[in-house]
Structures are given as structure tokens and as C-alpha cells.
Amino acid sequence: MSNRRPIVMSAPDIQASDIEAVTQVLQSGYLSLGPVVERFERSFADYIGVRHAVAVSSGTAALHLCVCAANIGAGDEVITTPFSFVASANCILYERATPVFVDIEEESMNVDPDLVGAAITERTRAVLPVHVFGQPCAMDRLDEICRSQDILLIEDACEALGAEFRGRKAGTFGKAAAFGFYPNKQMTTGEGGVITTNDADWAQLLGSLRNQGRGEMGTRVEHPRLGFNYRLDEMSAALGLSQLSRIEELLESRCQAAAIYAEYLRHIPGVRLFTPVKMTTRLSWFVVIIRLEQGISRNAVIEDLRRNGIPTRIYFSPIHLQPFFKERFGYREGDFPITERVANTTLALPFHSRISRSDIEYVTTCLRAAIERCSC
């Protein structure tokens, strides 16, 4: 191991063209509220296939502004998944509304549409499905449910850039969708996010909300509504625009790396790779997730891999079992059994667009040995 280069959990794919794009902005003198953000928004909207894109400071900010634009507040309910990064529930709480969790499907790991329909009450204002790990939710059924009940559909597509459900891109369903560009995502702006929508009024409102609630710029600055400092700076937008210009290359590199993982993992007993379900026409590989069979100690496997210089991550700890949610809402183990079973058996392996075959081979060789040692 001493002669091996370190294996990292994730890494952004930064090239000279990305650096040059940021450098040009730094030399321009326009570091905020400039033309690059507008170009990034237009290019992103064109890529997703929507009329409008609004760039913001993070995926969490994107989700929060969607809740704000929907005028969701105290007394309202939003149905979502407990198997996600906590931001997808926090954004509801920011506006004093209540996240209503429903359990997930075992294979897709996404929210179960049948349970969504059963959870709707007179207080339900929206459904917020999360395309977990780049796997699109069952958007046809969710869209039908929301339309029939006259409630909003807001996508959390922060992990799903480029993913497709029945040939249609994530981010084109419902009222709006949120994307995030943290460095472990398919493309990055460092921090940053985008909201996509086909509604011109929403796009205008979102543009105001991200910029302290400002109205149209005229002879004086007016703030007709409460807003936030959720702007995306010009340097981040330049990096995003550069990365977006080669997004298909980035997605394909990740897909090829996932295929190499599948090649090695299929020979390891007790391990199953997260894969596309039937209606997913394109899974956008955010992370490589494996499921461990009963009898394999995940904690022991993690520690064994760590001793061999291999980092791993647990994705996700159920939101309803986070201390804050247990204290606030009284959730307990057993409330969402599929979520809990999936969460207790999943493990993310090192993965990024430039991970080498030799690194994948080393990871999976060590994984096989770890499982042999850690199985009951």
C-alpha cells in the first residue's frame, strides 16, 4: 500500500479550460451580477430542455426558493422521502411547513408513489420527490397524482443531472426542479445550484428571491418582498459554463467507471450494485452504491477498507432518525422499515469521473477480502 497513490472518495474533474474560464472572469472586473451567470442559465436551460433556469448559491438554496415561490408556510404539508440528504426536508422546515415522509421502493430507493397518494391530506401543498443517486423517480405516476389533487410537484434533481425517465430528462417535470453542483456531483461550480422551470412568472420571482427580494432595477433599489442572498457569483458560473460544455463527456466517464465496478463486483458474493430500474432510460451516476447482504458487518467492512487506505461513505442515514427530527416529530426506528433496511445495508465506494481501472480493481479486491473476513 505504501507505493500506491492515495485513493480519494470523490474528486471534481477540473481541466485547463475550466481554470481559464474562471481566470477570464477574475480579469474582467465583473465578479457578481454580471453576464456569465446569464449565459450559464441559458445554456443550462437549453441542456435540460426547459424555458428558464435561475442560478443560485447551492442546491439547498434552490430547494428553499422553490418552497418560498410556492408560498408554502406554517400549517402546510409537503410529502417527501426520508431517504435523502437532509436538505430536502430542511428546505420545508425553513418556511415552517411540515415534511411528511413516506417510505421508499426497495429497488429504486426512491419514494413509493402509492404511499404518496395515500399520504395526501387537505393540508398537502406539494410533493417533493428526490432522484436518489441519479435514479429518476416514477415521475409519470407522481405527476398524475399531483395533477389529480391540484398540488405542486417540485423535483429534487440535485443528484440527477442528465438522468432520464422514459427518455425525458429529470428537471422537466412539475412546476420546478432543483440541481446542485457540489464538488462530488457530475459537474461542479464549487458550490452552487440551479432551479429549472417552464413558468416565466416563477422564474422572475425566483430571480428576485435569490437577490434580497429586489424588484426591477431602476433609479432606486426596491425590495417588494422578503428575499435572500442566494446569488451565484460570476466565477462559479464560469466554471459551471465550462463544465457544462463537456457534460456528456463527464457523464460518460462516470458511466464507464460504474461499468468497470460492475465487472468486478459481480464476482463478489454478498454484494449487489445499485443499478437502473425498468423505467430509467438513463441513470446519471452520482455515486457507486453497493448493498451488503444480511450477515455481513458493514462497520467491519468499512474499517477493513480504511486500513487499506480506501475511504467509504454511508449513504444515507434516514432523515427521520436524525436527532433533530426524532426530537421534533417523535420518529422512532421502525417508522419507515424499507428506508431503514436500505440505509443499513448500503455503502458508497470511491468514485469520480477520472478513477482508474487499477484503482477500481484494488478497491474491489480489498472489498472481497474484507467481506470474507467480516461475514458472520
Same domain, 207 and 77: yes
d(CA 256, CA 258): 5
Confidence of residue 220 (pLDDT cuts 50, 70, 90): low
Q: Indicate if 170 and 29 belong to the same structural domain.
A: yes
Same structural domain for residues 162 and 51?
yes
We report the CATH number of the domain holding residue 358 as: 3.90.1150.10
Alpha-carbon distance values, 293 to 83, 268, 341, 372 (Å): 19, 11, 11, 12
Q: Are residues 122 and 53 in the same domain?
A: yes
Cα Dmax for the chain: 73
Task: Determine, yes or no, domain membership for 4.
Answer: no
Residues 178 and 118 in one domain: yes
Q: Report the DSSP pairing between strands 193-197 and 176-180.
A: antiparallel
Residue 80 lies in a domain: yes
Rounded CA gap, 12 and 4, in Å?
Answer: 20
Same domain, residue pair 307 and 287:
yes
> Residue 4: its pLDDT value, please?
73
* Per-position b or e across 52-69, b if 16+ CB within 10 A of its CB: bbbbbbbbbbbbbbbbbb
Residue 344, domain member (yes or no): yes
Show which of 244, 275, 310 is a domain's final residue: 244
Could you tell me the pLDDT band of residue 1, with boundaries at 50, 70 and 90? very low
* Domain annotation covers residue 7: no
Q: What's the rounded Cα separation, in Å, for the pair 97 and 329?
A: 13
pLDDT tens digit sequence for 323-363: 999 999 999 999 999 999 999 999 999 999 999 999 999 99
Q: Does pTM surpass 0.95?
A: yes
Pick from 244, 266, 283: which residue ends a domain? 244
Residues 180 and 286 in one domain: no
pLDDT tens digits, one per residue of 127-140: 999 999 999 999 99
Render pLDDT for 26-52 as a digit per residue (tens, 0 to 9).
999 899 989 999 999 999 999 999 999
Residues 169 and 21 in one domain: yes
CA distance 102 to 115: 6
> Among 4-8, 195-199, 241-245, which is the least confidently predicted range?
4-8
* 30 contact partners, CB below 8 Å, separation of at least 6: 36, 234
Tell me, what's the pLDDT at 33?
Answer: 86
In the chain, the amino acid numbered 320 is H
- CA end-to-end span of the chain: 27
User: How many domains is the chain built from?
Assistant: 2
* 259-277 exposure pattern, b = at least 16 Cβ within 10 A, e = fewer: ebbeebbeebebbebbebb
Cell digits for 52? 428558464
pLDDT at 296 exceeding the cut of 90? yes
Tell me which residue range forms the domain holding 74: 16-244
Q: Among 197, 223, 244, where does a domain finish? A: 244
Q: What share of the chain is helix, strand, coil (3-state, %, to 5)?
A: 40, 15, 45
Residue 5 domain flag: no
Task: Please check whether residues 270 and 195 belong to one and the same domain.
Answer: no
Q: How far apart are CA 127 and CA 253, in angstroms?
A: 33
Angle, alpha carbons 53-279-146 (nearest 5°): 55
